[in-house]
Amino acid sequence: GFGCLADFHAEFAPGLNVFYGRNEAGKSTLQQAICAMLYGFYDNDRARPDETARQDRFRPWNGVASPYRGSLEYELSDGRLFEVRRDFSTSDVPTQLIDLVTGADVTPNFGHGRHGNVPFARRQLGMSRSVFQSCAFIGQGEVLNVASGASPREIGDAIAALADSSRRDVSAAGALTRLDGLVQRIG
């Protein structure tokens, strides 16, 4: 359970996945659930009021009896498979990261702070939550900005262009690598 989502299950294909539906159907909530599964709600061991408010905002609602927890399976570009499990129902947010090939709990390899703060996604993906959100998600507002009065084909082209622009490497590690290359070339 996460916000309006209860017993939700989806499989994503490589590349662009499009979710559409009425207002309040859970599209943005799904984006936030993915981010919360990968990054948690808390950036540090000390809970800030805005982080606590964000966690409270997505408690199951509208009479949803689902527990406030989830799991997310993902594959890295090198083929390694993981499952993250988080229980958001407590302030401690128990978090586990499972290597799906060996079945081992690899959470300790990443350190474990308070409030479920396990920085595995930052290390595995090489980007912060804010960079991930900028790269991984195209919001309805972004599509509407370019699609106002457009034909279906133009809307499709706009979505493809937004997806292509979000794939660029904006991680700090990538930026440092590019800067090192320029320094070597320029001197």
| 173 vs 102, higher pLDDT | 102
Residue positions counted in the chain? 187
CA distance 116 to 89: 11
Overall average pLDDT of the 76-105 stretch: 94
Report pLDDT for 162: 57
Nearest to 85 by CA among 40, 25, 47, 143: 40
| 125 vs 166, higher pLDDT | 125
Q: What is the pTM of this model?
A: 0.75
Overall average pLDDT of the 137-147 stretch: 64
CA distance 67 to 110: 26
Report pLDDT for 123: 92
CA distance 29 to 112: 26
| 7 vs 84, higher pLDDT | 84
111 pLDDT tier (thresholds 50, 70, 90): confident
Give the full edge-to-edge strand order of the sheet including 81-87.
Answer: 69-75, 81-87, 95-99
